[in-house]
C-alpha cells in the first residue's frame, strides 16, 4: 500500500507542537529530575506462573477498575462508500478485530487469549479514533504527547512524585487532552514511523503498531534503546519478505533470469523490497542470480487513481522486455486497469506468471469473482464490449499471492487462539456494528489478511504493556482532588518484576476503585521479553528491538484459480515460509542457501498461468543458462575458426617468403641508384635545389657567348631575384619548422603562471563586464572592480613556488637562492629553458589570444547554463585550472564579490588552494568539481529553480558556488563504506557518519580560518556567516549517496505539501529541501551532458571503482558491487544506476521546476531530456550482443 502523506501545516508540525514539552524537559533537568537509570525486564506468560503469580494478584484491590483511554490511529470509520469500496476495504476487518479485542478486555473474556494472570485489575477502555491522513495522525499524536508530558511534569514538580517508578490514580480524568496508550498506525511511510515513535517516546506514551517495522521505527539493534513503542511486525520484516520471494522464485527456477516488479511511485515499501532483493543477490552464500527491473506507476494525485497513460507506457516497456515473471506490489483497487491493459497486450495467461506481494481479503476476492470489468473500469478506460462481462478473477487465474500468514503461524495443534478467533468471527453479525455499514456476508469467511489478527494481538499487548506498571511500580499514588495534598501513597515497594516471571513482595493494601490510571511511560517501563500465544501465532517481544521475534511459517502463499463451474476466484494453499526458524538467521546475508518453503503434499494441482507446470522464465535479456549454452556453441565455432585461421596463416607464410625474396632482388637494384635518387629529391623538392637549377641555367646562358644585350641583362636580373626568393623561402621554412617543433615539444608546459594569469585576468574581467550590464546586486563603491594580472600571477607563483623541494635548492646553490620565483617555475615546467625561449613572441601571442577567446566562450556557456558545456575542454584551455577559473569567473560575473565586499586577493588564493588540494583521481578530481559548479550554477540563472532564492541574496549565491567548489575537497578516491570497513582514520574521526562529506567540510572551513585565505573577514557579520555556513553544510552532506533515498523522499513530500497548502511552508524549510536536491542533481550532472562527455565520465568513474576493487582484493575484503575489474558490469550497470538513482532524481527536480520555476522548468527539462537520451543509449547497448558491439 502506498505510504505517502502531506506535510503538516505551519503551527501543527511535530516540532512546533512539542516546543512546550521541550521547555518542560529542560526545566525538569535543571531541577535535577530525570529518568531512573534502573532497567526492568518484564516477562509475562499467557499461562499461570504457579503459586507465586497467584499471590501477585492478591495484593491488588478486588474492586479496582482502571479507565484507559486508547488512541487508535488510522481506524476511524469512513464516510459513505460504494458497495465495491466497502467490500475491498481492508480497514473494516481491522476495525472489527479491534472492537472484539476491546470488548473481550473489558468483559474479561479469555476465550481466545487469557492474560488475566498479568492484568491486575478490571479495565474499561475509551477509544479515540483518528483518520488515516498523515496530517491528522501526526497532529493528534503531537497533541497527546504534549498534554501527557505536561501532566508528568506537573506530577514531578508540583507533587514531587517520581513518575518513572510510580502509578497515579485520579478520581477524575485530569488530563482530558491526551490518551493513555496508542494503537497504530496501521500504515505509514518510513519517516512517519520514526517521527511518531520519537514523539510518543518524548511524550512518554506507550504505542503498539502493526504497520511499522522496527527498522522503519529506528529501533534496530544498535540504533536506539530509548523507545516506548512495540512493533507487532517481525524483526527485520523487510529481509524476510525479500528472502521469501527469492526462495519462491528459486523453487521454480525463476531466480536465474530477469523479473519485472510493478509498484506505485512513492511507495517506500516497494522501493525497499527492490533494494533488499538486489542486496541479497550480492550475498556470497545465496544461489540467487535474479536481475530485478523496477517499474513505477505514477498516480494522478496522492490518493487518486493511477495515471493510465503512464501505466500504458510502462506496460509496453515490460512487453518490449518480453518479461513473463511479474511481481506486483500494487493495491487491489489499482489492479483492474493494470491487469486489463496487460491482458490486451498478451501479458496475462499462457506462460505469464503474476506474483502479488500482498494478501487479499475475502471481500476483495468476491469483487474479483462477481463484479464485471465493465463496472470496475467504468469511467477509467474503455472496455471492449466482448470483455465488459468478463470478471477480474479470470485475469488473475494461475497467479500467486504472498503475505503475512493470516493467523496461527507456527502452531501445530488445532486448539490454538487462531482457530478460536475464527470461530468467534463466524459468530458475529453485521448489525452488531451499525456504524461500519458492513456487507451482509462480511463474516462468512475468516479474514485472509494478517492485519486483523495483528490488531487483536496488539490491543492485548498494549494493555499488558500499560497495566504491567501497576505490578512493576514502586508506589501507587491516589489523587483525591485536594489542592493541598500531594496524594496518598499506597503499597510502597509492594510489587515488582524480576527478569523472567512475576513475583510479589510486601503486604497488600486497599486501593482506589473506579479510578483513571495515569502512567508516564519510559523505555524501561515497556516490558521486553513479553511472551504469549496470540491469534497471529506465538508472540515474543524482543527485549532490545521491542519487535516481535520471527517464528516459523510467518509468510504464506496461495495459488489463485478461477473455477469456471462456479464463476469464483478461489485461493488454494501453496505453502508457508520458513518451515523452520533459527535465531542465527536474523541478518540479511545469514539465511541458508536452500529454500525454506514448505508446500502441502496433498494439495490440488497448481495452475501457472494457463499451464499446470511452471513455465521457463524469459526476457530479451540473456539468462545464465542461455549464456552457458551460448558459450558452448561459441567454443565449437571458435574451434572451427581457429582451424581456418591456422590454414590461412600457413598460406600467408608461404606467400610472404616468396614476396620477401622478390623484395631483396629489387632492393639491391634500388640501392645502386640511392645517391642519384637523393640528389634528384634535393634538386627538385627543395627551394635550394630550385635555386641551384636556376643558377646553372644562368651560367649556361652566359657561356653561350657574345651578345650581352639589354634583354639578356633583364633575364639575368629576373633569375637572380628568383634565386634570392627561393633561398629566403628556404630559410623561412626552416625557421617555421623549428617554431612548430618547439610548440609540440613544450605542449602543456607552455602554461606558465604568467600565461595562466593573463588568461584568467581577461576571463574574469570579461565576466565583470557582463556583470556590470546584468547584475542584480547593488555594488559597493569601495570595491575594486577590475582584476589585476599581477595579483593573479602572484597567487599562482606562490601556489607552485611553495612546492619547490629543498633538495633542488641545495643542488643549485647560491644561484638558486637568487633565482626569481618565475624562473624557478619555468625551470620546473621544462627540462630545457631553450624550448620555452625558442617560441617566437609573435607566434605565441597569436596562439594565446586564440586560447583566450575560446576560453571566454567556454566560460560563457557555463554561465548561461548550457547543457553542452564541456569541462574537459575548459581544463585544456586553462592549463588544468578549470575549477579556480570557473568559480572565480561565475562569482565575479554575478557581482557577488562586489556586493559582499569580499577580499578578492584572498578569494583568489582560497580557490586556487582548494584546487591544489584536489587529488588527481580518475573521477573525483578538480574537473568533476568544476562540472558540478557549472551544473548547480545553471539553476541560478533566470528560468532556473534557484533563481528566485539567489536573485536578491548575494550571500546565498556565494553559498551555492562555495558548496559546489568544496564538496569533494581532498576526496580519497574510495567510498565511505570502504573507509568504515578498513577503520580509516577519517572514519574514526567522523564516527562512520558521512565520512568523506564531513572531511570535505572540515578541510574547507579549516582553510578559510587561515588569515591568508579568509576572504569574508571584515565583510560579513557573524550571524550572516553562520547562515552561510549552515547552508553549505546542509548541501555538502546531501551529496552522501547513503542518504539519497531519504532526501528524495523528503523532497517529494515537500512537493506534495506545497501543492496541498502553499501557505503552510516557511522559506527556510523550502530552501533546505530545494538546495539539498539541487546539489544532488548537480553532483550527477554528467548524466545529462552530451553522450561523448557523459561516456568519458562513465569511463572515469569505472576506472576509480576498479581501483577501489583492487584495494579491497589486496586486503582480502569482499569486493563491492560493480568494482571487480575481472567481472565488469558494462552498460547494464549504467541502466540500473539511471533507473534507480538518476531518472527519479531528475524527474522530481523537473516536476518542482515546472510548478515553481520562473519559466515553467524549461531549463530543468533540457537536463532531464539529456538523462533520457543517455539512458536510451545505455539501454540499447545493454541489449546489443557482444559480437555486434565488437563490430561497431
The pLDDT > 90 percentage for the chain reads 29
**CA atoms within 13 Å, Cβ hemisphere of 244:** 31
Q: DSSP assignment of 528-593, as one string? A: SS-EEE-SSSEEEB-TTT-EEPP-TT-EEEEEEEEETTTTEEEEEEEEEE-SS--GGG-SGGGS-S
Q: Average pLDDT in the 499-521 region?
A: 47
**Does residue 672 surpass a pLDDT of 80?**
no
Highest mean pLDDT among 473-482, 897-906, 940-949, 1077-1086: 1077-1086
pLDDT, mean of residues 460-474: 71
Question: Which residue, among 1151, 1078, 902, 979, has the nearest Cα to 301 in the 3D structure?
Answer: 1151
pLDDT band at 960 (very low <50, low <70, confident <90, very high): very high
402 in Cβ contact with 355 (< 8 Å): yes
Q: What are phi and psi of 1016, to 5 degrees?
A: -100, 0
Specify which of 25-29, 124-128, 702-706, 1082-1086 reaches the highest per-range mean pLDDT: 1082-1086
pLDDT score recorded for residue 2: 33
Q: What per-residue confidence (pLDDT) applies to 1003?
A: 95
Separation CA 743–CA 732 (nearest Å): 17
Q: Looking at 688-697, 765-774, 973-982, 1025-1034, which range is the least confident one?
A: 765-774
Rounded-to-integer distance, Cα 1192 and Cα 1188, Å: 6
The pLDDT, as a whole number, for residue 286 is 74
Between CA 979 and CA 988 the distance in angstroms is 9
Q: What is the pLDDT of residue 50?
A: 34
680 closest CA partner among 671, 665, 690, 672: 690
Average pLDDT, the chain: 76
pLDDT band at 501 (very low <50, low <70, confident <90, very high): very low
Mean pLDDT of the 749-753 span: 48
Q: How many CA atoms lie within 13 A of 305 on its CB side?
A: 16
Band of residue 618 on the pLDDT scale cut at 50, 70, 90: confident
Task: Extract the C-alpha cell encoding 1055.
Answer: 512537493
pLDDT digits (tens, 9 = 90+) for 395-422: 999 999 999 898 888 888 878 899 999 9
Q: Is the pLDDT of residue 24 over 60?
A: no
Q: What is d(CA 127, CA 555) in angstroms, rounded to the nearest whole number?
A: 31
Residue-level pLDDT at 628: 54
pLDDT of residue 1167: 93
Please tell me the predicted confidence (pLDDT) of residue 11: 35
Question: pLDDT: is 914 or 60 the higher one?
Answer: 914
- Where are the extended beta strands (E) located within 204-244? 207-209, 229-234
Q: What is the pLDDT of residue 1028?
A: 93
Model pLDDT, residue 480: 45
Residue 1185, C-alpha cell as written in the block: 550482443
* pLDDT tops 80 at residue 791: no
Q: Is the per-residue pLDDT at 757 higher than 90?
A: no
pLDDT of res. 759:
61
* Exposure of 1062 in the CB half-sphere (CA atoms within 13 A): 3
Paired strand residues for 234: 548
Query: Which range has the worst mean pLDDT, 42-51, 690-699, 1070-1079?
Result: 42-51
pLDDT of 510 > 60? The answer is: no
pLDDT of 129 above 80: yes
Instruction: Look at residue 833 in the predicted model and tell me its pLDDT.
Output: 31
Identify the residue with better confidence: 358 or 972: 972
Residue 886 pLDDT: 93
Mean pLDDT computed over 18-47: 34
Q: Going by C-beta distance under 8 Å and a sequence separation of 6 or more, which residues neighbour residue 754?
A: 793, 822
Work out whether strand 229-234 and strand 547-548 pair parallel, antiparallel, or are unpaired.
parallel
pLDDT at 922: 95
> pLDDT grade, residue 1161 (50/70/90)?
confident
Query: How many angstroms separate the CA atoms of 329 and 1, rounded?
Result: 8
Check if the beta carbon of residue 225 is closer than 8 Å to that of residue 38. no
- Assign 696 a pLDDT band (cuts: 50, 70, 90): low
Within its chain, how far is the Cα of 717 from the centroid?
Answer: 85
User: What mean pLDDT do residues 924-938 have?
Assistant: 95
Beta-carbon contacts of residue 909 (< 8 Å; ≥ 6 apart): 795, 798, 1012, 1013, 1015
How far apart CA 525 and CA 468 sit, in angstroms, is 8
For the residues 700-718, what does the mean pLDDT come to?
60
Rounded distance, CA 101 to CA 1112, Å?
55
88-103: pLDDT as tens digits: 888 899 999 999 999 9
Judge whether residue 799 has pLDDT over 80: no
Mean per-residue pLDDT, 682-701: 57
What pLDDT, in 10s, does the model give residues 988-1044?
Answer: 999 999 999 999 999 999 999 999 999 998 888 999 999 999 999 999 999 999 999
Answer yes or no: are the C-beta atoms of 608 and 398 closer than 8 Å: yes
Q: Is the peptide bond before 695 cis (omega within 30 degrees of 0)?
A: no
Q: Which residues pair with 562 in a beta bridge?
A: 569
Higher pLDDT, 261 or 446: 261
In terms of pLDDT, which residue wins out, 1184 or 70? 70
Inform me whether the pLDDT recorded for 770 exceeds 80.
no
Q: What is the mean pLDDT of residues 219-229?
A: 69
pLDDT category at 849 given cuts 50, 70, 90 is low
Using DSSP bridges, classify how beta strands 353-356 and 325-328 pair: parallel, antiparallel or unpaired: parallel
Contacts of 181 (CB under 8 A, 6+ apart): 68, 69, 70, 71, 205, 206, 207, 208, 462, 463, 465, 466
Asked if 528 and 468 touch (Cβ cutoff 8 Å), the reply is: no
Strand, helix or coil for residue 175: coil
pLDDT at 1149 over 90: yes
User: Residue 519's pLDDT is what?
Assistant: 77
Among 104, 122, 102, which Cα is nearest to 112's? 104
Per-residue confidence (pLDDT) for residue 257, from 0 to 100: 80
Percentage, residues of the chain above pLDDT 70: 71
952 or 1176, which is more confident: 1176
| Reported confidence tier of residue 850, pLDDT bands at 50, 70, 90 | low
Rounded Cα gap, residues 500 and 523, in angstroms: 18
Is the pLDDT assigned to residue 765 strictly greater than 60? Answer: yes
Confidence of residue 747 (pLDDT cuts 50, 70, 90): very low
Q: What is the pLDDT of residue 1009?
A: 92
Which of 148-152, 811-815, 973-977 reaches the highest mean pLDDT?
973-977
Q: Confidence class of residue 826 from pLDDT cuts 50, 70 and 90?
A: very low
Residue 273 and residue 356: Cα distance in Å, rounded? 13
Mapping DSSP to helix (H, G, I), strand (E, B) and coil, where does residue 899 land?
Answer: helix
Number of Cβ within a 10 Å radius of residue 606: 16
The confidence score (pLDDT) of residue 701 equals: 60
Amino acid at each position: 500500500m502506498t505510504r505517502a502523506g502531506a506535510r503538516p501545516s505551519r503551527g501543527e508540525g511535530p516540532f512546533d507542537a512539542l516546543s512546550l514539552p521541550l521547555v518542560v524537559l529542560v526545566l525538569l533537568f535543571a531541577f535535577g529530575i530525570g529518568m531512573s537509570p534502573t532497567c526492568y525486564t518484564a516477562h509475562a506468560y499467557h499461562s499461570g506462573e504457579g503459586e507465586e503469580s497467584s499471590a501477585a494478584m492478591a495484593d491488588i484491590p478486588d474492586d479496582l477498575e482502571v479507565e484507559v483511554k486508547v488512541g487508535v490511529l488510522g481506524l476511524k470509520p469512513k464516510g459513505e462508500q460504494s458497495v465495491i469500496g466497502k467490500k475491498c476495504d481492508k480497514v473494516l476487518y481491522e476495525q472489527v478485530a479491534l472492537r472484539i479485542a476491546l470488548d473481550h478486555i473489558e468483559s474479561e473474556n479469555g476465550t481466545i487469549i487469557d492474560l488475566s494472570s498479568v492484568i491486575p485489575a478490571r479495565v474499561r477502555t475509551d477509544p479515540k479514533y483518528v483518520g488515516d491522513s498523515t496530517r491528522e495522525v501526526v497532529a493528534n499524536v503531537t497533541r497527546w504527547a504534549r498534554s501527557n508530558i505536561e501532566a508528568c511534569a506537573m506530577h514531578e514538580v508540583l507533587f514531587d512524585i517520581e513518575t518513572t517508578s510510580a502509578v497515579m490514580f485520579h478520581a477524575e480524568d485530569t488530563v482530558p487532552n491526551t490518551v493513555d496508550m496508542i494503537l497504530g498506525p496501521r500504515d505509514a511511510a518510513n519517516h512517519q514511523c520514526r517521527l511518531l515513535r520519537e514523539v510518543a517516546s518524548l511524550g512518554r506514551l506507550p504505542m503498539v503498531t502493526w504497520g511499522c517495522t522496527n527498522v522503519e521505527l529506528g529501533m534496530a539493534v544498535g540504533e536506539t534503546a530509548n523507545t516506548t513503542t512495540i512493533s507487532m511486525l517481525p524483526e527485520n520484516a523487510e529481509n524476510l519478505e525479500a528472502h521469501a520471494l527469492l526462495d519462491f522464485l528459486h523453487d521454480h527456477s525463476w531466480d536465474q533470469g530477469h523479473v519485472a516488479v510493478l509498484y506505485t511511485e512513492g511507495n517506500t515499501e516497494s522501493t525497499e523490497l527492490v533494494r533488499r532483493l538486489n542486496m541479497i543477490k550480492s550475498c556470497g552464500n545465496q544461489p540467487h542470480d535474479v536481475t530485478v527491473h523496477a517499474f513505477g506507476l505514477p498516480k494522478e494525485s496522492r490518493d487518486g487513481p493511477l495515471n493510465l497513460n503512464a501505466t500504458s507506457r510502462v506496460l509496453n516497456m515490460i512487453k518490449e522486455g518480453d518479461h513473463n515473471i511479474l511481481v506486483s506490489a500494487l493495491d487491489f483497487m489499482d489492479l483492474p486497469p493494470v491487469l486489463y491493459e496487460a491482458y490486451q497486450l498478451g501479458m496475462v495467461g499462457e506462460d505469464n506468471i503474476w506474483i502479488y506481494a500482498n494478501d487479499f481479503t475475502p471481500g476483495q476476492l468476491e469483487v474479483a469473482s462477481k463484479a464485471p470489468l465493465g463496472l470496475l473500469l467504468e469511467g477509467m478506460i474503455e472496455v471492449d464490449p466482448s470483455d465488459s462481462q468478463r470478471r477480474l478473477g479470470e485475469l488473475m487465474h494461475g497467479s500467486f499471492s504472498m503475505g503475512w500468514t493470516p493467523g496461527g503461524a507456527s502452531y501445530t495443534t488445532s486448539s490454538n487462539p487462531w482457530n478460536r478467533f475464527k470461530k468467534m468471527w463466524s459468530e458475529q453479525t453485521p448489525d452488531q456494528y451499525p456504524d461500519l455499514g458492513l456487507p451482509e456476508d462480511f463474516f462468512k469467511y475468516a479474514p485472509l489478511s494478517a492485519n486483523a489478527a495483528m490488531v487483536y494481538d496488539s490491543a492485548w499487548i498494549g494493555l499488558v504493556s500499560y497495566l504491567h506498571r501497576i505490578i512493576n511500580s514502586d508506589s501507587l499514588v491516589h489523587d483525591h482532588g485536594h489542592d493541598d495534598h500531594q496524594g496518598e501513597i499506597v503499597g510502597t515497594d509492594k510489587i515488582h518484576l524480576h527478569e523472567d516471571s512475576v513475583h510479589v513482595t510486601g503486604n497488600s493494601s486497599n486501593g482506589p476503585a473506579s479510578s483513571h490510571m495515569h502512567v508516564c511511560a519510559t523505555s524501561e517501563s515497556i516490558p521486553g521479553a513479553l511472551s504469549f500465544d496470540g491469534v497471529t501465532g506465538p508472540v515474543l517481544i524482543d527485549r532490545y528491538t521491542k519487535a516481535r521475534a520471527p517464528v516459523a511459517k510467518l509468510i504464506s502463499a496461495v495459488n489463485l484459480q478461477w473455477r469456471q463451474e462456479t464463476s469464483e476466484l478461489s485461493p488454494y494453499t501453496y505453502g508457508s515460509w520458513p518451515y523452520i526458524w533459527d535465531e542465527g538467521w536474523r541478518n540479511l546475508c545469514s539465511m541458508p542457501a536452500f529454500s525454506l518453503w514448505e508446500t502441502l503434499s496433498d494439495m490440488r494441482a497448481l495452475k501457472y498461468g494457463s499451464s499446470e507446470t511452471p513455465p521457463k522464465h524469459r526476457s530479451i535479456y540473456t539468462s545464465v543458462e542461455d549464456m552457458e549454452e551460448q558459450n558452448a556453441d561459441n567454443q565449437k565455432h571458435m574451434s572451427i575458426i581457429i582451424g581456418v585461421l591456422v590454414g590461412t596463416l600457413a598460406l600467408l607464410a608461404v606467400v610472404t617468403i616468396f614476396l620477401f625474396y622478390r623484395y631483396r632482388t629489387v632492393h639491391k637494384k634500388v640501392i645502386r641508384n640511392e645517391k642519384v635518387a637523393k640528389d634528384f629529391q634535393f634538386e627538385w623538392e627543395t627551394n635550394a635545389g630550385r635555386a641551384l637549377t636556376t643558377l646553372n641555367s644562368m651560367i649556361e646562358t652566359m657561356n653561350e657567348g657574345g651578345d650581352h644585350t639589354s634583354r639578356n641583362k633583364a633575364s639575368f636580373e629576373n633569375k637572380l631575384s628568383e634565386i634570392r626568393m627561393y633561398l629566403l623561402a628556404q630559410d623561412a621554412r626552416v625557421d617555421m619548422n623549428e617554431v612548430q617543433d618547439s610548440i609540440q615539444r613544450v605542449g602543456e608546459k607552455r602554461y606558465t603562471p604568467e600565461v595562466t594569469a593573463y588568461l584568467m585576468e581577461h576571463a574574469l574581467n570579461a565576466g565583470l563586464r557582463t556583470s556590470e550590464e546584468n547584475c542584480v546586486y547593488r555594488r559597493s563603491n569601495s570595491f575594486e572592480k577590475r582584476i589585476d594580472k599581477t595579483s593573479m600571477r602572484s597567487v599562482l607563483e606562490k601556489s607552485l613556488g611553495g612546492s619547490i623541494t629543498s633538495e633542488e635548492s641545495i643542488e643549485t646553490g647560491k644561484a638558486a637562492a637568487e633565482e626569481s620565483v618565475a624562473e624557478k617555475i619555468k625551470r620546473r615546467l621544462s627540462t630545457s629553458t631553450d624550448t620555452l625561449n625558442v617560441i617566437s613572441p609573435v607566434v605565441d601571442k597569436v596562439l594565446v589570444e586564440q586560447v583566450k577567446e575560446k576560453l571566454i566562450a567556454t566560460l560563457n556557456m557555463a554561465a548561461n547554463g548550457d547543457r553542452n558545456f564541456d569541462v574537459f575542454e575548459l581544463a585544456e584551455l586553462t592549463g588544468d585550472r578549470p575549477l579556480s577559473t570557473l568559480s572565480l569567473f561565475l562569482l565575479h560575473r554575478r557581482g557577488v564579490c562586489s556586493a559582499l565586499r569580499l577580499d578578492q586577493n584572498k578569494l583568489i588564493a582560497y580557490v586556487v588552494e582548494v584546487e591544489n588540494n584536489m587529488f588527481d583521481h580518475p573521477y573525483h578530481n578538480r574537473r568533476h568539481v568544476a562540472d558540478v559548479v557549472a551544473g548547480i550554477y545553471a539553476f541560478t540563472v533566470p528560468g532556473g529553480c534557484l533563481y528566485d532564492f539567489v536573485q536578491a541574496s548575494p550571500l546565498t549565491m556565494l553559498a551555492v558556488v562555495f558548496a559546489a567548489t568544496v564538496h569533494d575537497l581532498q576526496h580519497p578516491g574510495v567510498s565511505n563504506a570502504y573507509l568504515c570497513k578498513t577503520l580509516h582514520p577519517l572514519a574514526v574521526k567522523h564516527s562512520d557518519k558521512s565520512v568523506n562529506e564531513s572531511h570535505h567540510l572540515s578541510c574547507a572551513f579549516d582553510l578559510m580560518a587561515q588569515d591568508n585565505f579568509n576572504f569574508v573577514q571584515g565583510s560579513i557579520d557573524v550571524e550572516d556567516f553562520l547562515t552561510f555556513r549552515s547552508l553549505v553544510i546542509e548541501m555538502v552532506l546531501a551529496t552522501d549517496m547513503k542518504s539519497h533515498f531519504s532526501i528524495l523522499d523528503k523532497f517529494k513530500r515537500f512537493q506534495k505539501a506545497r501543492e496541498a497548502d502553499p501557505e503552510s511552508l516557511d522559506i527556510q524549510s523550502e530552501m533546505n529541501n530545494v538546495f539539498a536536491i539541487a546539489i544532488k542533481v548537480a553532483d550527477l550532472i554528467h548524466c545529462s551532458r552530451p553522450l561523448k562527455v557523459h561516456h568519458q565520465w562513465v569511463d572515469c568513474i569505472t576506472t576509480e571503482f576498479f581501483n577501489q576493487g583492487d584495494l579491497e582484493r589486496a586486503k582480502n575484503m569482499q569486493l563491492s558491487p560493480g568494482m571487480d575489474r575481472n567481472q565488469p558490469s558494462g552498460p547494464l550497470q549504467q541502466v540500473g544506476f539511471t533507473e534507480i538513482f538518476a531518472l527519479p532524481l531528475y524527474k522530481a527536480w523537473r516536476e518542482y521546476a515546472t510548478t515553481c520555476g520562473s519559466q515553467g522548468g524549461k531549463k530543468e527539462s533540457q537536463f532531464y531530456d539529456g538523462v533520457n537520451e543517455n539512458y536510451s543509449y545505455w539501454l540499447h547497448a545493454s541489449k546489443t550482443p557482444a559480437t555486434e558491439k565488437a563490430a561497431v
